[in-house]
Structures are given as C-alpha cells and as structure tokens.
Structure 1
Amino acid sequence: MHIFIKNMVCNRCIMVVQQELDKLEIPYSTIELGDVEMETAPSPEKLQQLGKQLHTLGFELLDDKKNTLVEKIKTTIIRFIHSNEGEMLNTKLSVMLQDALQVDYHYLSTVFSSTEGLTIEKYVILQRIERVKELLQYDEMNLSEIADSLGYSSVQHLSQQFKKITGLTPSGYRQLQGNDRKPLDKV
C-alpha cells in the first residue's frame, strides 16, 4: 500500500515523515519524495493520527486521485531538475513524465493545469529558476556552467527567462544581500 503526502519535497521532509511514522509505530518499507510505501495497511485510526500530525508540520495526506497525481508530477519534476544528471536534461519532459508515471502526457497536462492553474511547462520553468537562484547563491559555478547543467540552450536564454520571472538579471540577483528564494513546495 502507498500513501501520498503533499509538500514532501526534500530529504529533510523525508526525515520528518519517517520520524512521525516511527512515533506512531506505523511500519513502512520505503519513503521517497511524496510517497510512502507501507508494509501493511495502517488502521484508519493510525492513518487519521498520522494525517493530523503531518498537517501540523505542513504536510497533507492525499486521498484524491487527481491531487495525488499532481503531487507525483511535482515530485518527479523536482527530482528531474535537482538531479544534476546532465543526460536526464536531454530527455524530453513529456516523455520523462510519461515514463516515470506510466500515464499519458496529455492527461497529466490536463489534470495538472486544471488543479494548479498553470501548465506543467510553466511549473518546470519556475522550478528551474529556483534552482538557478540556489546555484547563484552557492557561487560555485559561473552562469555558463549553470545554463549547461540545467539544460538551457544558452546563457542568453537562461538570462532572459530569469529576468522575465524575477525582474532581475542573474548577476543582479547574485549581488543581492537578501535571499528571496521560495521553498520548493511554494513554487
């Protein structure tokens, strides 16, 4: 049995969910972004307790099929963008999502757009821009390396997209003292 959890977007989130499962003595076999595979189905009472506790921590148990699918799309995209595997970035997004979720891309796109109010492609752009912000703050890569690592066709394309979304050039953003990055679950 699988349970799906909204806003579970990082390794720290996995650790928090793992701690809650352990506290409630709910056996599980694996925990990944947004997904917990259970060894056995927990009682409805335990599941309700887990849901309440996760809600206080900013997570949400998903029971609706469309919301679950949207969360799977988001976590797949986050993994895709943050994987640092250059060959993955050469894969067409629609093919990657279809292969990962075993669902027709047109259906994925329709469900995502109707649920989130933006297209999958726009969501990917927003996630990529957040990743660019992160890499700019680390200051370990130049813009050309960042563009290459995130699959942009050129530095100019990255810069134009960055300015369109943030209102700043990448170099202007790098010079900012403050951090205006969004948590991945708020993108």
Structure 2
Amino acid sequence: MNTELRAGYALPAPGTHRLLIKNMVCPQCIRVVREDLSALGLQVQRVVLGEADVSTPDGRDPDLGAVRTSLEKAGFALLEDPRAQLVEQIKTLLVTLIHYPAPGPRLLKYSDYLVEHLGRDYHYLSHLFSAEEGLTIEKFIIRQKVERAKELIGYGELSIAQVAEQLGYSSPAHLSRQFGQVTGLTPSEFQRLGPASHARRSLDALL
C-alpha cells in the first residue's frame, strides 16, 4: 500500500502546522487537498488521509479562514474542535487499515492499534466515538469491513473464503453473518446480483 495514505505516523516538523481534515477518504482526496493548499500560497510538507502539514513563506500561522473556505468548496472540512479531531483520526486510521491495507499479515486487534497510534486509553476512545457518532467503534469497523467485502466480491477475483481471510474473519460464516446484518444478503446472494449491484458506496457516506 502507498504509505502516503497513512495518517498519524509522524510528528509535525518544526515550523509547520498540522491541519486535520474531514472527508478525506481516497488517494484522489490527497491530490485535491495538496493542490488547494498550494493554491493558497502554503508550503505543503505532507498530506495523508485526514492530515496535512503546511508552513507559510514568512513563518506566520496559516490563514485558517481561507483554508476552511477552500476546503469546504472541495467537499472537505477543517476540524478545529479537539474531540472532533480525535474522532476523525479514529475513522481515518480504521478506513486506511481496512480499505488500503499494507502488505503482510492482517491486523486483528484494532483496539490495540488505535491506542498505539493515538496514545489514548481505548475506553476513552470508545466512549468519545460513541458519544460523537451515535455508534460504537466496533459497528463502524463492521460497516467498513462489509463495504470492503462488497468491493472485493465485485472484482470477482476472489472466492468468499478468500475475501473472509483477507479481511481477517475467522471463517466465511463469520463474514456471512456480519454481511447479512448490514446488507440483508449473504455474500453469495450479493455476488449473484451482478456487477450493477457492486458499486461501492461513497466512503464519505460511511464516515
């Protein structure tokens, strides 16, 4: 996986400002945000899903009002409330892990991963997420995994068992149960509906 997608791995360099941005869900979003910030005269040091590190030529703070307006025109949102920032970081980390996984073994303990990269107790993260989003982190993970399963099934290159294994399910039956809870169909039934039904919902609709 392109490491450019991954958020939360580096501290801002001295003299830079980290912007946390809502609704960044794909590589295309990274390109658009980079172009928009550059058009404002900002020096863009780093852009990944949900984050951008920028500096100004004169060393002053960036004009957040201008940044906010530019991002909103492109369908994004600048996050300034600390609680909203943390919730968005949770979402971005989980979307990246599920939809754009790095090569190697599939991570199974999402809770440990969030604690490691956000430096917060999982109970606190879980409570905050539920309070802000109206659903648990676990249910958010299930939604994302089912959406990724729909995409993989739509490609037609993997069996249901292979899709289950790739997404870290203990068995195809486990995938089928969660898939049915979310879609009302089994993976096999969904597959038989044909390509017209395989279009992935916009990820920002799931965020």
The bucket for the TM-score relative to the shorter chain is over 0.9
2:203 corresponds in structure 1 to 184
The match for 1:120 among 137, 157, 181 is: 137
In structure 2, the CA distance between the partners of 1:19 and 1:101, relative to structure 1 (3 Å rule), is same
**What whole-Å deviation, never above 9, does each CA across 1:59-104 have from its counterpart, x for those lacking one?**
10000000000000000001111205452423x1111100011111
1:56 corresponds in structure 2 to 73
Where in structure 1 are there 5+ consecutive unaligned residues?
none
**What whole-Å deviation, never above 9, does each CA across 1:140-166 have from its counterpart, x for those lacking one?**
111111100100000011011101110
Shift of 1:172: 1.6
In the alignment, the residues of structure 2 paired with residue 130 and residue 78 of structure 1 have an alpha-carbon distance, to the nearest angstrom, of 10
In the alignment, the residues of structure 1 paired with residue 45 and residue 147 of structure 2 have an alpha-carbon distance, to the nearest angstrom, of 31
Q: Following superposition, which runs of at least 4 residues in structure 1 exceed 4 angstroms of deviation?
A: 40-44
| TM-score, normalising length: structure 2 | 0.84
The match for 2:91 among 49, 74, 84 is: 74
The structure with more helix, counted as a fraction of residues: 1
| TM-score, normalising length: structure 1 | 0.92
Identity of aligned residues (%): 44
How large is the Cα RMSD of the aligned pairs? 1.6
SS state at 1:87 partner: coil
Shift of 1:180: 5.2
Give 1:87's aligned amino acid: P
Residue 21 of structure 2 corresponds to residue 2 of structure 1: no
Shift of 1:22: 1.4
**What whole-Å deviation, never above 9, does each CA across 1:18-48 have from its counterpart, x for those lacking one?**
110111111121111101112347655x321
